[in-house]
Structure 1
Amino acid sequence: MTGPISKEEWEKVRRESMANLDQVIDSVGMPSVLLKYQANAIEPLESGTALLVVEKSRRVGLTWGMASYAVLRAGRIKAAGGMDVMYISYSQEMTREFIDACAMWARAFAQAAVALDEILFDDTDPAHPEETRQIQAFRIRLASGFEILALSSAPRTLRGKQGAVIIDEAAFVDNLKELLKAALAFLMWGGQVIVCSTHNGADNEFNVLVQDILHERRPGKHLRIDFDQALLDGLYQRICLVRGREWSPEGEAEWRQEIIDFYGDGADEELFCIPSMGSGAWLTTPLIEARMTIDPEDAPVIRIALPLDYLQRSKLERDHLFQIHLDTIKEALERLDENRQHAFGYDPARKADPAVMTLLSIDKMLNRRAVLTVEMRNVPFAEQKAIGKLILDNAPRLVGAAIDATGTGANLAEDLGRLFGLHTEETPGGLVWEIKLSQTWYNENFPPLRTAFEDGAIHLTRDAEHVVDLRLVKVIRGIPSIPPERVGEAGAKRHGDFAVALVLAYFASRMQWHEYAYQPAAIAKSRFEESSEGAWRNRSDDVEGGFRMASARRNRGIF
């Protein structure tokens, strides 16, 4: 596709949606007239978000939803937060349709529109006033005294205005970088900037803006609405309602496939918010090695490889073999700084890959530092859980633990969550996060870790195999990902396991944690007193309400 949408297709979709609004309102009611993803894009703006950036699929009606917000914002008096709203896109057809949608919403909201007209807007370059040109614009003036102004290009005169600005299909406008400079000046006086677009390549300024927010280099709110999310939120059902068709799962599946087939090789970018780009290394070797500043003696990497017939041996022999490794981990835990917060990441595995646990400390300057990594091959899940329990029990001021729960780790995450509190929306004080790894999760959480590498805010143990793991992370279709291939010799292959454990630990270190239900103990115990009878043995009797008081006693730090 060379443009976001054809003139004919755009006009057809918008005209149908506007012509049938009354029918939609009658069917679903005004509170539900916006689909969930449309309402989710408006909610942060109503809550005061200054900069909102939305990656979106084509043909999901977000512009239609934004028109409703424009009317709500411009229709208020100044004391209630009213302001002018400016809409900018790459084509005159889109701006005309936006104004028509605003007029429709004004009628639905019973807002008084004083006038709807076309004007000529002077695009003046102060350095070359003789080159001033006039641009056709569309305007609605509301009884509140504010107006909605829709422009089809990026006029420099935007610098002289104030209010909220919506930049639609931003990846396709002329000189987005300069336009953003002018628009972001609105924020100084309480304005808002909304940037929405389908992607147009990974090197486009729109994707640069998205990555700046995901990397936390620029403050702002980020949303992602792909085609499947829109369908789950009722897009096709709404299309059926508007067009008078009967909805069915089979019909929706067929329609979805037709749309994907229409876009062909461009479907990932056009529909699923994946900017087109070749693959490449996520981190360079020099950058990785520059952050490996810690000697293994100070932050050990403990590698455990149990015999292949471990489970067939007697209990006494198994206990003896395993206790040796527990003692080594205890020695490392005893050396941890009691004054620093800690965060834990765990990538479980059992057969082909090593299971990896890593512990980061957080200093007062918010630098993360590796303090302990445990790698396990042929270690049964019960023993892995015992090691995780030992670390979480004795990590000072633990602020969180993130565990890959996409496969075999689900049971381990659940069991550790029973001991240390499982983080859910209902129990936000839990320490253990069950993470379902996905492209979306990687896209949101690998960028902050890379920023830490670039800013020198993370320090790792010198370890050649960890370099391999971090180098294995590739940028695939614009998203940092773990490719399916494994590296290394037979029986000792790796699959980016340390990189996954590290991004999980870094995620846990960034999550705010609050203590609750704390009760001081009458007699303080040493860190290993409770586990002296065998740290790896399952002890559920000391659990109360899914949260251990002994753990709370040590984890008083709040980040």
Structure 2
Amino acid sequence: MSAPITEREWAEARRTATEVLPGVVEKLGLPKALISYQARVLELLESAACRVLFVEKSRRIGLTFGFASYAALRAGRTKAAGGMDVMYISYSQEMTREFIDACAMWARAFSNAALAVDEFLFDDSDKEGERSIQAFRIRFASGFEILALSSAPRTLRGKQGVVMIDEAAFVDSLPELLKAALAFLMWGGQVVVCSTHNGTENEFNKQIQDILSGRSKYSHIRIDFDQALKEGLYERICLVNGIEWTPEGEAKWRQEIIDFYGDGADEELFCIPTAGTGAWLPAPLIEARMTIDAEVIRLELPKDYLHLNSLQRAMLFQPTVIKVAAAVARLDKNRTHAFGFDFGRVADLSVATLLETDRVLRRREVLALEMRNVPGDEQKLLTKMILDGAPRLVGAAFDATGMGWTVAEDMGRHKGIKDAEHPGGLVEAIKFTSNSDWYRTEMPPLKAAFEDDAIALIKDEEHLTDLRIVKVIRGIPRVPDLRTGEVSKKRHGDFAVSLALAYYASRMQWHEYAYVPVPRAPSKFEETRSERDDGAPYRLGSMRRSRGIY
């Protein structure tokens, strides 16, 4: 769990959430058959674009119950309506029996609804479906069926339809099972892989990381315990058991479940795989990507800098301005650029990283600036120089935590803030809080770039150290509360954060626009005087200025 929430805090949060819209429960009347996250997953499965779906989930949220309704609907349809066989696989016989029982419940409910319009879900001779519902199989009048199979890959041979692999992280051979299941896609089938986590090295987590990094194009959804509670899990439990729902009751039940799982709560309830150890990126891999010979521009100002007169401050600051201006002037005007900025003022550094994207989509570090003990106005001046000078800037991501918000805000004022309501801006302000999902979703693509040789960095020992300090903490790569370096010049993985922000900015959705002037028809004078007296071609622009035509 990213950040512990006490029982009292949860009760207060839920009370506030339910008091925002007084009377909403009374207006809605009886709850719908599916909880909103169950319905959201089914809606995704019904879309034509969802061929393969991976679901990270908490235990005890009833998602299998929702899958059972989809299985009954899919197998009950005719072929023309998209019907097909549904095969359910899990690691235990008890789970498969429970799934068939849930499917039977939904099938009977759908059958009753169908009979109301003179349609049949089961064969006419058995409208209730009792003879069609067996221990591990349900047959429908459509000719399709729901099958509960063992987790052995060979059980899928010769079959076709929808494959549901439940608690996939715990089956015996998930890679082989996926290989057999994915073959169903050739004939229009569908694959659903759903599980809680079982360690960072498990095939299920590797598949999730591939999706998050962009290597895999499969669909993905994540539902942890707290999200399920916010969407009505405990309210549904109260309804089924005839208990009155209260914020305090939900908070108490939530804490009991967390206490029950103890040290395993992060993995079992909050979708955080355990057993992550060691550095996130190995040193040899980082060094292999440090192929650029360039200077990292470093500026450190004395602690009494603001007490100096303007001339003394200029003498200390101006050399860095000149270096940054020269670095900007060398940038390739035909390449797109992206900017990342990690803010620091007293204890930590401010680090700015500019990445260029080349023709083969490799991100190349073309400018790196570090500032220690540099006041905000000076930081903004140098940052503005880079943003204004970077050709074809596609995005800039700023650490907006704490005082970093002031730099992000001013640069956003200059280049346009990018957020959900204003997607056209260039500057995105990102607040790194303890419960932020940013690291979880945005660090895997950066790691994939290292592994795929899709990034090139400036050779620098301190930057190597900053990248090495990133650890997998509770399944999420992040900079730990650890500082390196000399006592007076400590580092806190500052370059790693700046690089991650720049790489994120390089992947922002952007649109380039420009204009091409319409050629002006030459004047009669220009047509007749196409050459100088000495035979050299005229430069029309120079001729116009010198002859006073304009």
TM-score range, shorter chain: 0.7 to 0.9
1:44 alignment counterpart:
44
Q: 1:487 deviation in Å?
A: 0.7
Does residue 96 (structure 1) correspond to residue 93 (structure 2)? The answer is no
**Residue identity opposite 1:458 in structure 2:** I
Give the distance between the partners of 1:320 and 1:191, measured in 2 at CA.
70
Q: 2:504 aligns with which of 480, 502, 507?
A: 507
Q: 1:255 aligns with which of 245, 253, 256?
A: 253
Q: 1:252 to 1:163 in 2, by over 3 A?
A: same
1:15 alignment counterpart:
none
Give the distance between the partners of 1:311 and 1:224, measured in 2 at CA.
49
Give the distance between the partners of 1:72 and 1:406, measured in 2 at CA.
48
User: Superposition pairs for residues 495-534 of structure 1, below 5 Å?
Assistant: 495-515=492-512
Secondary structure of the corresponding residue to residue 512 of structure 1: coil
In structure 2, list runs of 5 or more residues that go unmatched. 1-24, 115-119, 124-128, 519-550
For residues 8-29 of structure 1, the C-alpha deviation after alignment (integer angstroms, 9 at most, x for no partner) is xxxxxxxxxxxxxxxxx99957
Give the distance between the partners of 1:231 and 1:175, measured in 2 at CA.
32
Q: 1:210 deviation in Å?
A: 1.9
Secondary structure of the corresponding residue to residue 280 of structure 1: coil
2:416 alignment counterpart:
421
Secondary structure of the corresponding residue to residue 487 of structure 2: coil
> Retained in 2: the 8 A contact 1:169–1:198?
yes
The range that moved more, 174-183 or 399-408, is 399-408
Q: 1:64 to 1:236 in 2, by over 3 A?
A: same
Q: 1:310 aligns with which of 302, 305, 323?
A: 305
Q: 1:387 aligns with which of 376, 382, 390?
A: 382
Give the distance between the partners of 2:415 and 2:317, measured in 1 at CA.
23
Secondary structure of the corresponding residue to residue 87 of structure 2: strand
For residues 59-110 of structure 1, the C-alpha deviation after alignment (integer angstroms, 9 at most, x for no partner) is 1111112222223333433334332221111222222222232233345553
Give the distance between the partners of 2:30 and 2:106, measured in 1 at CA.
11
Does residue 401 (structure 1) correspond to residue 396 (structure 2)? The answer is yes
Q: 1:451 aligns with which of 442, 448, 451?
A: 448
Q: 1:253 deviation in Å?
A: 1.8
> Retained in 2: the 8 A contact 1:118–1:138?
no
Q: 1:318 deviation in Å?
A: 4.0
Q: 1:149 to 1:26 in 2, by over 3 A?
A: farther
Q: 2:324 aligns with which of 320, 329, 340?
A: 329
2:121 alignment counterpart:
113
1:529 alignment counterpart:
none
Give the distance between the partners of 2:86 and 2:194, measured in 1 at CA.
15
Q: 1:431 deviation in Å?
A: 1.6
Give the distance between the partners of 1:43 and 1:318, measured in 2 at CA.
62
> Retained in 2: the 8 A contact 1:362–1:368?
yes
Secondary structure of the corresponding residue to residue 52 of structure 1: strand
**Runs of 4+ residues deviating >6 angstroms:** 117-120, 518-522
Does residue 157 (structure 1) correspond to residue 155 (structure 2)? The answer is yes
**Residue identity opposite 1:35 in structure 2:** I
For residues 106-132 of structure 1, the C-alpha deviation after alignment (integer angstroms, 9 at most, x for no partner) is 455535431657999xxxxxxxxxxxx
For residues 500-521 of structure 1, the C-alpha deviation after alignment (integer angstroms, 9 at most, x for no partner) is 11111111112221257x7889
> Retained in 1: the 8 A contact 2:121–2:142?
no
Q: 1:347 to 1:140 in 2, by over 3 A?
A: same
Secondary structure of the corresponding residue to residue 79 of structure 1: coil
1:494 alignment counterpart:
491
Give the distance between the partners of 1:241 and 1:79, measured in 2 at CA.
38
Q: 1:399 deviation in Å?
A: 1.4
Give the distance between the partners of 2:474 and 2:297, measured in 1 at CA.
35
User: Superposition pairs for residues 238-253 of structure 1, below 5 Å?
Assistant: 238-253=236-251
Q: How high is the sequence identity, in percent, across the aligned residues?
A: 67
TM-score (norm 1): 0.79
TM-score (norm 2): 0.80
> Retained in 2: the 8 A contact 1:113–1:141?
no
Give the distance between the partners of 1:336 and 1:330, measured in 2 at CA.
10
Secondary structure of the corresponding residue to residue 364 of structure 2: strand
CA-based RMSD: 2.7
Q: 1:52 deviation in Å?
A: 1.2
2:233 alignment counterpart:
235
Q: 1:315 to 1:102 in 2, by over 3 A?
A: farther
Larger Rg: 2
Q: 1:279 deviation in Å?
A: 1.8
1:129 alignment counterpart:
none
Give the distance between the partners of 1:521 and 1:426, measured in 2 at CA.
33
Give the distance between the partners of 2:474 and 2:175, measured in 1 at CA.
23
> Retained in 2: the 8 A contact 1:117–1:139?
no
Q: 1:331 deviation in Å?
A: 1.1
Give the distance between the partners of 2:145 and 2:27, measured in 1 at CA.
31
Give the distance between the partners of 1:42 and 1:54, measured in 2 at CA.
12
**Residue identity opposite 2:84 in structure 1:** M
Secondary structure of the corresponding residue to residue 113 of structure 1: coil
Q: 1:97 to 1:28 in 2, by over 3 A?
A: farther
For residues 207-260 of structure 1, the C-alpha deviation after alignment (integer angstroms, 9 at most, x for no partner) is 222223233333312222221222222222222233222222222222111111
Q: 1:314 deviation in Å?
A: 4.0
Give the distance between the partners of 2:149 and 2:30, measured in 1 at CA.
29
The range that moved more, 287-296 or 314-323, is 314-323
For residues 124-154 of structure 1, the C-alpha deviation after alignment (integer angstroms, 9 at most, x for no partner) is xxxxxxxxxxxx9622333443322222433
1:67 alignment counterpart:
68
Give the distance between the partners of 1:101 and 1:30, measured in 2 at CA.
21
1:531 alignment counterpart:
none
2:540 alignment counterpart:
none
Q: 1:335 to 1:231 in 2, by over 3 A?
A: same
In structure 1, list runs of 5 or more residues that go unmatched. 1-24, 121-135, 523-559
User: Superposition pairs for residues 168-179 of structure 1, below 5 Å?
Assistant: 168-179=166-177
Give the distance between the partners of 1:375 and 1:233, measured in 2 at CA.
44
Secondary structure of the corresponding residue to residue 160 of structure 1: coil
1:12 alignment counterpart:
none
Secondary structure of the corresponding residue to residue 444 of structure 1: helix
Give the distance between the partners of 2:84 and 2:417, measured in 1 at CA.
44
**Residue identity opposite 1:41 in structure 2:** V
Q: 1:306 to 1:186 in 2, by over 3 A?
A: same
Q: 1:289 deviation in Å?
A: 1.0
Q: 1:80 to 1:423 in 2, by over 3 A?
A: farther
**Residue identity opposite 1:396 in structure 2:** P
Secondary structure of the corresponding residue to residue 281 of structure 1: coil
1:78 alignment counterpart:
79
Secondary structure of the corresponding residue to residue 501 of structure 2: helix
Q: 1:302 to 1:184 in 2, by over 3 A?
A: same
Q: 1:271 deviation in Å?
A: 1.0
Give the distance between the partners of 1:31 and 1:414, measured in 2 at CA.
44
Give the distance between the partners of 1:462 and 1:187, measured in 2 at CA.
45
The range that moved more, 310-319 or 234-243, is 310-319
